[in-house]
Structure 1
Amino acid sequence: MICLLWPLILGGFALGLDAYVLAGLLPGMARDLQTTQAMVGLGVAVFTVAYAVSAPALASASTHYSTRTALLAGIGLFTVGNLATAIAPSLNILLISRVIAGIGAGLYSPLATASAAAMVKASQRGRALSLILAGLSVGTALGVPFGLLLEAHFGWRWTIGLIVLLGILAASGVGRASSFPAPTPLRWKERLSVLTEPFILSTLTVTLCTGIASLGLYTYMAEILSSRDMSSFTGIFIWLWGLGGMAGALFIGRAIDQHLTSARATLILLLLLGMGFALMGYAPALLAGIGCFIWGMCGWASMAPQQHVLVTYAPKQATASVAWNSSANYLGSGIGATLGSAALNSDIAASWLPAGSLMVVLLALTLHSIKLRHLR
């Protein structure tokens, strides 16, 4: 399966590295661009908001072209945006470049996910989805520490340059791949009609809340650890978060294919995610590290059961619903990053951010429980 999906997985690796290495690059970027970390953190927010807006919109436009062409356009825009990031001389140029990269990611990621699900048997769908997510999480677990090491010796621009190289390699693999499923034409009105389905809308809302809680908080991990006098552990904790994400993404697919329903998997993951926030934010260093691992594992694993249940519920609308789900996830990340930036700029202590994320994940649990009760 990996031999079949490797170009899509490599593209996911590049997206994962791009989205999450910035948390460790914020101090160096802020110094270089002569601004604050909170303002540079907005680069994460605009990337994710651009992704969230473009994912469903461009998914509709992409059906007019072959899947290969649409994938190449997405990874191409993503790579050009990162090239502009690498040479950005000011904060404004940086923010514009992050918008371009986010638009490319918004076109590429949901189409890659839907394509992976369509390229394998139904019994292997969970594992195919988890492999695409694994590419994203491996980009965090292995790529982020390497990116931070590269930044320590050569500067943050070299780390972004690595992402550009990965984007070029992924585009090369997509261009040479044997075949991709033909896109299912859907008018924009039909894509919007997906949101009138109570089941789909409630699923997307849970994804949105999970993104706000998990990905939004990750942006400010360095500030949170600094407020706890644990700044020396930042690199280790980011690595643990990424390792947890890699483990969660790799094993959740088999779990939902063979052992757990998607709904039950989401319930368990949300409960554990809240535990991870509490440990990372308020427990001693050893338990905080364990909390980061749990947080990464459950945050990354949470997307696969949500995507799986949407694809299973309405296969003909899979591309649209997966695009909306990816959009909800990244919109949540953008909202979380923006709220975190606003909180820090308002002199709210960083130590309060994990508590805020814990409240949001409790809201997600409540909404998911209501959906399950209604379905019964």
Structure 2
Amino acid sequence: MPFALYLLALAIFAMGTSEFMLAGLVPDIAADLGVGLGATGLLTSAFAVGMVVGAPLMAGLARNWPMRSSLLGFLLLFLAAHIIGAVTDSFAFLVATRVVAAVANAGFLAVGLTAATSLVPAGNKGRALAVLLAGTAVATVAGVPGGALLGAVLGWRATFWAIAVLCLPVAAGVLAGIPERSRGTDTVARPHLSRELAQLRHPRLLAVMLLGALVNAATFGSFTFLAPLVTGTAGLAPLWVPVVLVLFGAGSFAGVTVAGRLSDSRAGTVIAVAGPLLCGGWFALAATADCPGALFTLVCIQGALSFAVGSTVITRVLYEAAEAPTMAGSYATAALNLGAAVGPVVAAFALDTGAGERGPVWLSGALVAVALLLAAKVRAVLTASPVPIAADG
């Protein structure tokens, strides 16, 4: 894999840490700003909404901008949003900074995904995506638990400052390792933007985008509220929250690594095998969350299965969007984050039911069950030979 791809993964690590870190900070932010747990969990949804809206918008605006300048601009906007978020005392303003950070993240990821697919041969899109998502997985292994630990020791604001500082070496890496070439200067004629947007009318593309959104909604619905599950249902001390997040992250890294080698050619097999296990695993976790041993084991397994299934489906989005070479990354980003936006919202309602802290986990199992029904309907799309994505530069 090209070295520039790993630089992009480093940036995705920083941004993934920011996106996921609230899973370990929800109780502290709620107490500091005087809002409820469910409302605080909506910070994750605010970020995801910004990603969903920002991905196609920023990809469309930046499709003719120089690649390095686009990536650097989005990264600096992301940094500024975290500095402002670290000093605000207003929950509403904190929500606004999360939306701005998300739009910047969306622009970076949309451009980065498209850049990644142009850096590898046509049949290796899944492996390139796996490298980028490995940045997200490492964020859950190291960044998010580290942020939760930092928040437990120094307060949640320290984690925002840490993300801002982390962006500085990433910016230097982008300047040093990404070529300053226009995404519009390529040897293959690019379709007009209207033609690329018209791909969203294709049922096959919409089906795999919806499938990815459902799987990610299940992942984020439970992940956002892991801290209350650990400290409430399992009755463990707050310092155990980073341990659980590390286990989830270790599983996710393993899952995306294995799936990255299979998603190009065996997407149907991955989903057929890992999908039912993922569904059953959420239900098992909900039923046994009061047992720390079961909680630790199942959280790791669910991390692996969630990222294996999710990354495989998102790879199919990239292939189904083959005729939208500059926008395919934004469609994949939107699918991922539509689920990340909806998941915590509905999980917050589940949190306030009689199921309590287990409610989001029961809901995750139900969402994956719906995803499996959809996967059965579109099995031909998932098992079809992938169509190479047109190179963009």
Same fold (TM over 0.5): yes
1:302-347 deviations in whole A, cap 9, x for unaligned? 3432233233344342442331221121111111111122343567
Equivalent of 2:234 in 212, 219, 229: 229
Cα RMSD after superposing both structures: 2.2
Of 233, 251, 257, which aligns to 2:258? 251
Q: Distance in 2 between matches of 1:22 and 1:298?
A: 22
How big is the shift at 1:249?
Answer: 1.9
SS at match of 1:302: helix
Q: Which digits, 9 at most, give the CA deviation of each residue in 1:55-114, with x for residues without a partner? A: 011111111211212212222222111111111111111111101101111111122122
Name the amino acid aligned to 1:206.
Answer: L
- The aligned amino acid for 1:35 is V
AA matched with 2:305:
C
Q: Distance in 1 between matches of 2:205 and 2:10?
A: 29
Q: Following superposition of structure 1 onto structure 2, how do residues 338-357 of structure 1 map, counting pairs within 5 Å? A: 338-345=345-352, 349-357=356-364
Partner of 1:97: 97
Provide the residue aligned with 1:328 in structure 2.
335
- Quote the residue 2:165 is aligned against: 165
CA contact (8 A) 2:49 2:341 kept: yes
Q: Which amino acid aligns with 2:203?
A: P
Question: 1: CA distance between counterparts of 2:97 and 2:212?
Answer: 26
The C-alpha deviation readout for 1:211-254, integer Å capped at 9, x for no partner, is: 21111221111223344234334332211101111111222212
Contact kept in structure 2, 1:7 and 1:171, CA below 8 Å: no
1:85–1:160: 8 Å Cα contact kept in structure 2?
yes
Residue 358 (1) aligns with residue 365 (2): yes
What residue in structure 1 maps to residue 205 of structure 2?
Answer: 200
Q: Does 1:296 align with 2:303?
A: yes
Structure number with the higher helix fraction is 1
Structure 1 letter corresponding to 2:97: S
TM-score (norm 2): 0.88
Q: Equivalent residue of 2:88, what SS? A: coil
Query: Which of 208, 211, 217 is the matching residue for 2:216?
Result: 211
Tell me if structure 1 keeps the 8 A contact 2:75–2:104. yes
Which AA in structure 2 matches 1:63? R
**Post-superposition offset of 1:119:** 0.6
TM-score by length of 1: 0.92
What is the aligned partner in structure 2 of residue 78 from structure 1?
78
Residue identity over aligned pairs, in percent, reads 26
Query: Could you say if the C-alpha distance between residues 250 and 102 of structure 1 is closer, same or farther in structure 2, counting changes exceeding 3 Å?
Result: same
Kindly state the Cα deviation for residue 277 of structure 1 after the two structures are TM-superposed. 1.0
Q: Deviations over 1:131-182 (max 9, x none)?
A: 1000011011011222122222221111111111222222221122252774
Q: Which runs of 5+ in 2 are unaligned?
A: 185-189, 385-393
Write the distance in 1 (CA, Å) between the matches of 2:86 and 2:191.
36
Q: In structure 1, list runs of 5 or more residues that go unmatched.
A: none
Q: Output the CA distance in 1 between the equivalents of 2:297 and 2:326.
A: 36
SS of residue paired to 1:255: coil
- Whole-Å separation in 2 of the counterparts to 1:307 and 1:161: 31
Matched residues, number: 374
Return the offset for 1:209.
0.7
